[in-house]
Amino acid sequence: MVTEEFKAHKEHTFDAYCKRVLKNKAADLHRELTRQEQHETSLEDLLPVLENTKQYEDVYQLLRPIHTNLPAGSFYVSDPELEAALSQLLPKYRDVIYLYYFLGYTDKEIGGILNIHQKTVNSRRRRALNKLKERLGLSDGV
């Protein structure tokens, strides 16, 4: 048989426990918010700074993708003059340029992809660069 005094004691103990849990959670939340205020910048604080900076447009949406029969499929060239000069190259030169400069393949890897010798890749790349320099009006020092 449980006495009324024991019930009151249990209820008081449970109430004290619940209050302690709530206080601890409130203290944790306060510490977290304080930490965020110290380490993070609010967007409201950044608005005056952002209003004075130059805004940039995402150019990737404005570019037309270049589709190739190469393993990478398609990619973008951001300079219209360069894109036009590249399109005037013969495909054998253009493919080497795309693979080497745009897709980051080595001469050996390009040779494997195109089934040509590594030295042929190197000479095609040099010839293509010279043709691009001519078409773009660049000197040898560039």
pLDDT tens digits along 85-102:
888 889 899 889 888 888
The helix/strand/coil state of 65 is strand
State how far the Cα of 104 lies from the Cα of 50, in Å rounded to an integer: 35
- Indicate whether 57 pLDDT > 60: no
Q: Which of residues 52 and 37 earns the better pLDDT score?
A: 37
**pLDDT tens profile 8-39:** 999 999 999 999 999 999 999 999 988 888 87
Select from 80, 114, 78 the least CA-distant residue to 94: 114
State how far the Cα of 124 lies from the Cα of 112, in Å rounded to an integer: 15
Question: For residue 60, what is the DSSP state?
Answer: G
Output the average pLDDT for the chain: 81
Q: Write out the H or E segment, with its range, that includes residue 32.
A: helix 4-39
Model pLDDT, residue 82: 83
Model pLDDT, residue 105: 86
